[in-house]
Structure 1
Amino acid sequence: MSGSSPLKVAVVWRGDAQARAEARPESSRFAAVFSALDRHGLAGEPAVWVDGEADVLRAQLMAMDAVLVWVNPVAEDTGDARGTLDAVLREVAAAGILVSGHPDVIDRMGTKEVLVRTRDMGWVTDTHLYASHAAFAAEFPGRVAEGPRVLKRSRGNGGIGVWKVERAAGPDVLVQEARDRILHTVSLDAFLAERALDFAVGGTLVDQPFQARHLEGMIRCYVSGTRVAGFGTQHVTALASPEHGRAPPRLYFGPEDERFQRLRGLMEADWIPRMVGLLSLEPDDLPVIWDADFLLGSRDAVSEDTYVLCEINASSVYPIPDEAHDTLAATTLRRLAEGRDRCAERRV
């Protein structure tokens, strides 16, 4: 840890060599993050990850007190997704530097498999994991016969690898991929065969029932560590009929917004503590900013809304509500201070 000088916090995002050379806190996409770090007495420093320059980034991060990462783990158009970067981040964390989110934490909470591991908590409905194509081909036909289902690859974003599937006439199913929203009628056997590619490199598929209230919107709950930091709402049309048009931009709200206090209470008092235990994590393992996306489920016996978790985003969560910037900076500062105190105790 640093002494009397400000604690140094690297903010990591992906770019090219020019972006790295020209990166400045005040002109970056994360200008509000840098401002919040500064308000909390932390010295933020841009650290642009350039494919093929692991040594450069490693040297920079090893001089930091904390590293906050905003790099999508899903493969992009060029370079590897995060494999090389994750190796660097593991080295940095092993050296005693705070890394958020740590690659191992993202692997536990940031894939669709978390929907299955936490399905008994009350925030997930009838959800199943297919670990092999044989299991998928054997089990999925019976489930889709009971009603529309949504299939999701273990990793994905932007609607890639998400399908709504429902029975049509005879042996056919009606399929809609969230990415392009085009409806296709294909035989169930053909659809099952197509999905073999999703398992070819060790992938899995997660299966949930389609939520009839999806057009009422999605609630994104932003969390810093274990505390809710704000909310976002957005109409969801990715799996709706094409005539519904594209969804408007997400709207952002602070953590005190009265419309979301029931969900906030469920998250902070029940769901987050239970999730931490089920995933074999510690509370301070959770990223300094992450989010959980909910659709509205059926109303309960007293006409209260229920919430159905669709996914958890544990990396590259941005933009965020205005209030969340100071919250993530405060969480970072607290963890650094607690780590410094533990180091001092060990020296005594």
Structure 2
Amino acid sequence: MSKNVKKVAIVWRGDRETRGAATKTNSRYHRIFEELEAAGFAPEPAVFDEAFAHEVFQQLLAVDAVLVWVNPLDDGKTRNVLDPLLRKVAEAGVFVSAHPDVILKMGVKEVLYETRHLGWGVDTLIYRSAEEFRDAFPARLATGGPRVLKRNRGNGGQGVWKVEIDDRQSDGTFVRVLEAKAWSIPETVELEAFLSRCEAYFEDGGSIVDQPFQERLPEGMIRCYMCGDKVVGYGHQLIKALVTPPPGYGPEALQPGPRIMHPASSAPFQPLRAKMENEWTPQMMSVLGIDRQSLPIIWDADFLFGPRDSFDGDTYVLCEINVSCVFAIPDDAPAGIAQELALRLRSCS
């Protein structure tokens, strides 16, 4: 292999057997491997687990760039071992994306609070302790409609709740709650019991973000995929998370619709593209102190439809930003990843 060929490790979670069997063609990342090779890189799989973290660490020190696809929560496992490992790799001069410090700025729910004043924001609060949550949330819930609570770090809808007062109770001591996790069903619980349930979200410096429920949620969610600061496609999905099922519902009422992918050029999404590329992403970078070189190679912003504007046009409300493990991705994204990585490494040299 030529000394000028840059080695790129693609990291995802798996066990020892998966690590031993992993190739460039037998994982869901095969298109990314293909595009990296086409761009002149030498990609290699780097399956990670805490049981062999040191082995992965040594592998990553021997490459030029590391691209990571590992969820913050996965079957009880976290990134508490992986993130310090990646920081050490980056300190050794290896390009890492997404860097754990960047994830902590934009890939957590707290970004919704920090950027609430941007065009994608809404009335957003944050609770940084269980005591603050207990003191403030019940009063907030009593002043308006349903609220959505989001634990700071999570994925797959874990720790995201729609909460509303049970109007069958006159004193407000019971609430109806629905978690965004797949196949969750509504519950009616005592408010005190729900507050206690959420206390675990404050462990290890955690927090909870509080936003109003968006009534147009049944119209779907738009996932805007980004390579750096450029849109590479969209996914529109009729989600069922936080949508209260109708009376007498069957299993199909909990099954989300397929995510329909669209290219960046798709006409219906051009207003959103203009906002993301020209306004919201630059503004977010300024607020969070992130330069272009540090933006994740691949990330996405999930939007819900907000209230229609005075011209009956759509507005968009940021639901969350995904950075740690963005997949599935649009058809154009693998090539975009390769192109963006080439640009970053040229900037580093």
| Residue type at the aligned position of 1:160 | Q
Worse overlay, 243-252 or 119-128: 243-252
The change in CA–CA distance for 1:52 and 1:187 in structure 2 (over 3 A counts) is closer
For structure 1, the residue ranges without an aligned partner over 5 or more in a row are 341-348
The answer to whether the Cα contact below 8 Å between 2:217 and 2:305 also exists between their aligned partners in 1 is: yes
The match for 1:123 is 120
- 1:248 maps to 2:257: yes
Instruction: Indicate whether 1:139 and 2:142 are aligned.
Output: no
8 Å contact 1:20–1:50 — kept in the other structure?
no
Distance (Å, rounded) in 2 between the aligned partners of 1:252 and 1:13: 23
Query: C-alpha offsets along residues 50-101 of structure 1, whole Å, 9 cap, x if unaligned?
Result: 3222221122111111110111122533xx4122221221111111111000
Instruction: State how far apart, in whole Å, the 1-side matches of 2:195 and 2:21 are.
Output: 48
**Partner Cα distance (1:326, 1:81) in 2:** 29
Do the aligned partners of 2:11 and 2:46 also contact (CA within 8 Å) in 1?
yes
Q: What residue is the counterpart of 1:289 in the other structure?
A: 298
**Residue 307 (structure 2) pairs with residue 298 (structure 1):** yes
> For 2:185 and 2:256, how far apart are their aligned partners in 1?
15
CA positional deviation for 1:231: 0.4
- Say if 2:87 and 2:99, in contact at 8 Å, map to a contact too: yes
User: Which amino acid in structure 2 is aligned with residue 7 of structure 1?
Assistant: K
Name the counterpart of 1:280.
289
- Runs of 4+ residues deviating >4 angstroms: none
| Cross-structure match for 1:101 | 98
Q: Does 1:45 align with 2:44?
A: yes
Counterparts of 1:100 and 1:197, CA distance in 2: 29
Provide the rounded CA distance (Å) in 1 between the counterparts of 2:327 and 2:203: 31
Partner residue, 1:329:
338
C-alpha distance in 1 between matches for 2:263 and 2:326: 16
The one-letter amino acid paired with 1:227 is K
Flag structure 2 segments of 5+ consecutive residues without an equivalent: none
- Partner of residue 26, structure 1: 25
d(CA) in 2 for partners of 1:115 and 1:264?
19
Residues 231, 253 of structure 1: 8 Å contact kept:
yes
Checking the alignment, whether the CA contact within 8 Å between 2:71 and 2:155 is kept in structure 1 is no
Q: Indicate if the aligned counterparts of 2:72 and 2:155 stay in contact, CA closer than 8 A.
A: no
Higher mean alpha-carbon deviation, 276-285 vs 81-90, is at 81-90
Identity %: 49
| Aligned counterparts of 2:107 and 2:243: Cα–Cα separation in 1 | 25
The alignment covers a number of residue pairs equal to 337
The answer to whether the 8 A contact 2:148-2:161 is kept is: yes
CA distance in 2, matches of 1:143, 1:232: 33
State the SS of the aligned residue for 2:120: coil
**Length-normalised TM-score, structure 1:** 0.93
**Structure 1 residues 196, 73: CA separation in 2 closer, same or farther (over 3 Å shift)?**
closer
Say whether 1:258 aligns with 2:267: yes
Answer whether contact 1:181 1:241 (CA < 8 A) is retained: no
Shift of residue 246, structure 1, vs aligned partner: 1.3
1:250 is displaced (CA, Å) by 1.0
Give the aligned CA root-mean-square deviation in angstroms: 1.5
